[in-house]
Amino acid sequence: MRIIRTVHEVRVAVAEARAAGRIVGLVPTMGAFHAGHLSLMQVARTQTDLVVVSLFVNPTQFAAGEDLSAYPRDEQRDADMARGEGVDILFAPEPAEVYPDGFSTTIHVSSITDVLCGATRGPQHFDGVATVVAKMLGMVAPDVAFFGQKDAQQVLVVRRLVRDLDIPVRIEACPIVREPDGLAMSSRNVYLDPAARVQATALQRALAAADAAAKAGERDAAVLVAAAAAVLADAGIEPEYLELRATDDLRLLDRVEEEGLLAVAARVGGARLIDNCVLRPN
C-alpha cells in the first residue's frame, strides 16, 4: 500500500490505473478506523480494482467548540488496518494541500441540510462536508465512492452534490455496522466511559422499538416516534433530535406509507452519537 500526500501523486497513480482499464474506488474517511470503515474498504475491494482511502480530518466541518482538536488520530494504526484490507493507496494530505492559502470556495447544498444534523450542528457542518467531498472527488476522480449509511443525511447531501454538479461518480451507500450489542460503530465511541457505553445501546433499541411497531403495521409517525422516545427516556437520554423523515428529501412525515428514515442524535456521556434506520410498515 502506498501512502500519498499530494494531489499530483494521487492523480498520476489513478491515471495509470485507469489507462490500464482499472476501475477506481474511493473511501473518504477522517481516520480512526473501526469495523464500519473496514466494511467500506471491503466493499470497495470487491467492486473496484484500485482502492484509494482518503484520510483527512476535515477542519471545516467542525463547529467552534466541537471535538476537532480531540478527534482521535493515529495514522500508523489506520495505515496498518487499511493495508490489512488490501487498500492500494492511503491518500493522507496535509491541511495546506487541501486548503491552500487563499482558498475561498464553499459548496452549500440547500434544503436537505437545514434539518437534523444541519440544524443541530449548524450550517457550516454540511458546507464543510460538501466542500471537502467535492474536493476529494476532484482530486482522486474515482469511478465509485463509498459512504456509510450511518451518516444517512451525509449520503443524501453527497448524492445531491454529485447530481447537481454533474460529477461523474457513482455513490455507493453501505449498511451500518454494529457492535454485538447493537451500538452503531463510530469513531466517537472511544469517548464513552463504561456506563455511557451501556447507556448508548438505547439508541439502537429505540430504533428497533419503532421498527417493531412499523412491522406490526403502525403508520402514524407520532406513534412510531413515541415508541422510540420511550426507550430513550427509559435510558435517561434526551435526544438532540428524533425524527421520522422522507428517505429522499428529508421532509417531515406524518405517516409512513412506503418507507421513512427514523434518525436520532443524542449526547451520551462525552460523545455525540447518531443512528438511524429505515422503517417499512407491513
Backbone angles phi, psi at 88, to 5 degrees: -85, -45
Active site residue 37: yes
d(CA 230, CA 67): 29
Count of beta carbons in the 10 Å neighbourhood of residue 199: 18
If one asks whether residue 151 binds ligand PAF (CB under 6 A), the answer comes out as yes
Residue 149 binds to ligand PAF (criterion: CB under 6 A): no
Interacting stretch for ligand PAF, rule CB under 6 A, among 90-98, 126-134, 191-199, 207-215? 126-134
Q: Cell triple for residue 103?
A: 482558498
Span interacting with ligand PAF, options 27-35, 40-48, 175-183, 252-260, rule CB under 6 A: 27-35
- CA neighbours closer than 13 Å in the CB half-sphere of residue 249: 4
Among 24, 29, 121, 176, binds ligand PAF (CB under 6 A): 29
Please tell me the distance from the alpha carbon of residue 209 to that of residue 215, in angstroms, as a whole number. Answer: 10
**From residue 129 to residue 148, what is the string marking binding to ligand PAF with x (rule CB under 6 A)?**
x--xx---------------
Q: Does 127 help bind ligand PAF (rule: CB under 6 A)?
A: no
Interacting residue with ligand PAF among 39, 58, 204, 276 (CB under 6 A)? 58
Sign of CA dihedral 139, 248, 261, 59: positive
Site for ligand PAF in 83-122 (CB under 6 A): none
Q: Are 268 and 184 in contact (CB under 8 A)?
A: no
Residue numbers of the site for ligand PAF (CB under 6 A)?
28-30, 58, 61, 129, 132-133, 151, 154
Catalytic residues: 37
